[in-house]
Amino acid sequence: MTIDLTALWQQFHGHLQPFDLSLQGSELLPHQSGSVLADLRFEGNVWVEKVEVNYRLNPSRYWIAEQELLRILAMQPELSSRLPEQINARLWTHDITMINIEPTTRCNFSCWYCVGRHMVQEDIDPANFRNLLANFPNLKTIALVGEGEPLMHKAFFSMASQARDHGARVLIISNGSTLSSSVVKQLCETEVAYVAISIDSIDPNTFARSRVGGDLHQVWRGIERLRKYRDDNGFRYPKIALKGTLFSYSQHELSVIVKEAFSRGVEIFESFQALNPKESYVNFYPKEAMAEVIMAPKVSQIMSQDLSEMINPMKTFDRFCLEEGIEIPSAKVNRLRNNCDETWLYALLSGDVTPCCQVKTSPSERWNVFNRPVDAILADESYENLRFNLWNGIFPAFCKSCWKTL
């Protein structure tokens, strides 16, 4: 006993097609058949959420298998004599009001694990930034974050002011090395809401081992300068946050970094991570760092344990967002398998939207926030098809080694 949904699928979602990864040569999930989730409306205007829909490619066929049908009827036996008449497979997050865009790929550090050091070194065009704001009328939050140091862009504060006047909250991640008195003053006056500083160790030599070219003492002085100027002059913003990357030689430092950063004026804990094992990043790592890639899962495990056991005096990033009214929707989970549901847009400094911050080439030239309204990009059929596949955990080759594919 099955219900064929092929005609219904083509009627409502002809452009949503599972990727045939066996043709792409992907090692992640080679297949020509499988299952996805969709909401179904049965006769009588009764909706059933997240129904498992089986499919087969070449030619395409969609159906509800007997086991899934029995599960539905066990919950709603009145549907036994009713047929599906509408289908909704657009289950990924749609209420996008945030964008993360790279203001620059330039940086005054030379961190060996940063892919930005292997990208073209350039800045976003201020005129294009104005186009972005015009194309995103319901923008509420903008993260001026990428593979460079955002405060190195000469027009950073002009862009921050424009975003603020547009009604958006501005968030940044900085290496903390450029927090001079004039920069601190402008950060406060332009009401940049949030500055996260990356700290990998409290030992200056260990810090410099990963933050190549960085001076930890200079970073601490900058943080203290920012906190003092903000508080002494009655400014509410920016709030100061902590994040970082740990390695095998610093894997036990999380608690001492948090304690030291808090004593220096940091008030929010954003996140810490182990070395990124994604293949597209590993390709840029020096050969002598390959042992760190192997150790990354262990480092991640130790960090998770330390975080659960330590007393953290800082606010969480989620609490900061709640208190400040910064709305970042929770990712929607697919009950069948690990999936990806980015709740904001990510754009390169070219304006090209990519699936996430770890993908540095846009799949489509039509997804450009400088040239098209954001709503048009979100409704683009090729964009919807990518989000459909990622939400269902059908990962193309460029996702290989991302933790979400494991």
Query: Domain total for the chain?
Result: 2
Q: Which residue has the tokens 């406060």?
A: 188
Both 248 and 216 in a single domain?
yes
Q: Tell me the residue range of the domain where 52 lies.
A: 3-88
Residue 273 is assigned to a structural domain of this protein: yes
Phi-psi region of 360 (alpha: psi -120 to 50; beta: other; left: phi over 0): alpha
> What size, in residues, is the chain?
406
Residue 331 is assigned to a structural domain of this protein: no
Both 171 and 259 in a single domain?
yes
Both 127 and 195 in a single domain?
yes
- CA distances (Å), origin 160, targets 189, 302, 383: 10, 37, 28
| Domain endpoint, select from 292, 324, 356 | 324
CB–CB of 340/332 below 8 Å? no
Both 63 and 107 in a single domain?
no
Both 65 and 133 in a single domain?
no
| Domain endpoint, select from 88, 117, 144 | 88
Residue 400 is assigned to a structural domain of this protein: no
Residue 32 is assigned to a structural domain of this protein: yes
Both 84 and 163 in a single domain?
no
Could you list the pLDDT tens digit for every one of the 406 residues in the chain? 799 999 999 999 999 999 987 655 555 554 678 999 999 999 999 999 999 999 998 889 999 999 999 999 999 999 999 999 999 999 999 999 999 999 999 999 999 999 999 999 999 999 999 999 999 999 999 999 989 999 999 999 999 999 999 999 999 999 999 999 999 999 999 999 999 999 999 999 999 999 999 999 999 999 999 999 999 999 999 999 999 999 999 999 999 999 999 999 999 999 999 999 888 889 899 999 999 999 999 999 999 999 999 999 999 999 999 999 998 888 999 999 999 999 999 999 999 999 998 888 898 999 999 999 999 999 999 999 999 999 999 998 888 888 888 7
Rounded to two decimals, the pTM is: 0.92
Residue 377 is assigned to a structural domain of this protein: no
Both 58 and 165 in a single domain?
no
Residue 395 is assigned to a structural domain of this protein: no
Both 149 and 219 in a single domain?
yes
CB–CB of 201/179 below 8 Å? no
| Domain endpoint, select from 40, 63, 88 | 88
Both 74 and 105 in a single domain?
no
